[in-house]
Chain A
């Protein structure tokens, strides 16, 4: 089976076949394995956004900077689509983790310090 797009979720992917390296950690921040990602696809999670919300891949401290590409290739292979079909998950502000007390300073005027 090949798919041009991933819109129709009723298409069955066939049996989940375990692979020898299924317990390899892919997302290190949240400790998610290759097997968990492959299984999520069989549970119906076809987009990177859904995988992320279902498993927390790329939701840790590095926000997916390390594993995004790997996750995408695993999902694409499982769906038998080109990785180009899969949109990356949205990058979100702030660029790097930032303490609440620093983030909160945004409204401080120069005058506050005088």
Chain B
């Protein structure tokens, strides 16, 4: 059994799978290791499917916009699997003056970066989506936002990468990285040792304990959030929805079911013991939020609820970076709850970084050494 490849990727989430795919397309040999039994069983298979640009940090916006303009529209064709991408816009809804202020702030910042997003009033909101309650008085509207199916996107990248010869091994928990002669070389799991010229760490929050073994840290925390899905309903609307207060967000899938995500607000102190389990208070709270905005959904049946971790960076944007002190190490973590929408772009960027090519976009904002003490 060979344990060496040009590139070792830790983590088979959508980021790791996308990077593996774009590397394999370049003819690079890749091994992907994941501690879970199943591929992509972290945030990548638990997220709300939002492919949004509005509301994003101006530093991250160029990645989101590149994805929407150049990658998502052709991804189904590229992967030979329908990833259910729809570019039908995002409404971020508001009911109060305070909401309006929040939305206006987000809108102004996005417009300054060249994104086509604008504030609209309650009537225009209901022209776009007639199911929204009369209580909605304003929204920010970005017509080029959308959503896709995260399960099929993650597994679609996996399937294609595997077909191109990438070796995926699950049940392999990485515990340590090791340098040889000053260069990162070894990836040690609980059972085996792997060797690569480049190592991409894309293990979500757990990237932190892995890179600590070579003296590197990323200031992030894990935060549990939840989601739910209804039974299939007749087609109602195609936009992605969110709210100024972030009580919930979601969309109707091709299957007809509605996927909504949200939180109770008590997550940061939850007794989850590090397991992705739902709390009994959260889904009902999300339901109350949804019904206030979309009264018609009160009769929709919830069939499933689940939870997942977001890897929240201290400054709200990911770390996508090479590491000077550890030549060979490439970080891709701290996606802060919006890594799915930019995953095709990040996967491609990582493939360029790992092969020493110039990246198609400037990534200096995502450096690992951008964090400094106050004084």
Contacts and interface: CB of A to CB of B under 8 A. Distances in A.
A103 to B, nearest CB: 5
Most buried by B among A5, A49, A53: A53
B169 interface: yes
A107 B284 contact: yes
Contact of A53 (B155, B278, B285, B298): B155
B155 A45 contact: yes
Contacts of B284: 103-107
Interface in A1-23: 5-10
B155 A106 contact: no
Interface string B36-56: 011101000100000000000
B300 A100 contact: yes
Interface string A58-91: 0111010000000000000000000000010010
Dominant secondary structure at the B interface: mixed
A9 B170 contact: yes
A107 B151 CA distance: 32
A10 B168 contact: yes
Contacts of A63: 303-304
B257 to A, nearest CB: 9
B303 A100 contact: no
Interface in A93-107: 93-94, 97-101, 103-107
A61 B41 CA distance: 22
Interface string B15-42: 0000000000000000000000111010
Contacts of A99: 298-302
A53 B259 CA distance: 14
A68 to B, nearest CB: 14
B31 to A, nearest CB: 9
A4 to B, nearest CB: 11
B169 A7 contact: yes
B302 A94 contact: yes
Interface residues of B, number: 43
B63 to A, nearest CB: 25
B167 A100 contact: no
A93 B278 contact: yes
Contacts of B255: 56
Interface string A19-60: 000000000000000000000000111010110011010011
A53 B158 CA distance: 13
Interface residues of A, number: 34
B194 interface: no
B155 A8 contact: no
A100 B39 contact: no
A89 B30 CA distance: 28
A100 B41 CA distance: 27
B305 interface: yes
Given A50-B155, A104-B284, A92 B305 contact: yes
A60 B297 CA distance: 18
B171 interface: yes
Interface in B187-236: 230-231
Interface string B288-325: 10110000011111111110000000000000000000
Given A7-B172, A94-B302, A94-B305, A106 B281 contact: yes
Given A43-B159, A107-B281, A107-B285, A100 B298 contact: yes
Contacts of A94: 283, 302-305
Contacts of B41: 49
Nearest to B155: A54
A10 B159 CA distance: 11
Contacts of A61: 231, 303
Contacts of B302: 94, 97-100, 103
Contacts of B155: 45, 50, 53-54
Contact of A7 (B152, B170, B278, B290): B170
4 closest A-B pairs by CB:
A106-B284, A97-B301, A53-B151, A104-B287
7 contacts: A53-B151, A63-B304, A93-B280, A98-B302, A100-B297, A100-B298, A106-B281
Interface of B: 37-39, 41, 45, 151-152, 155, 158-159, 162-163, 165-172, 230-231, 255, 278, 280-281, 283-285, 287-288, 290-291, 297-306
Given A60-B303, A61-B303, A103-B302, 17 more contacts: A8-B169, A9-B39, A9-B169, A44-B158, A47-B37, A47-B170, A92-B306, A94-B283, A94-B302, A99-B300, A99-B301, A100-B290, A100-B298, A100-B301, A100-B302, A101-B291, A101-B299
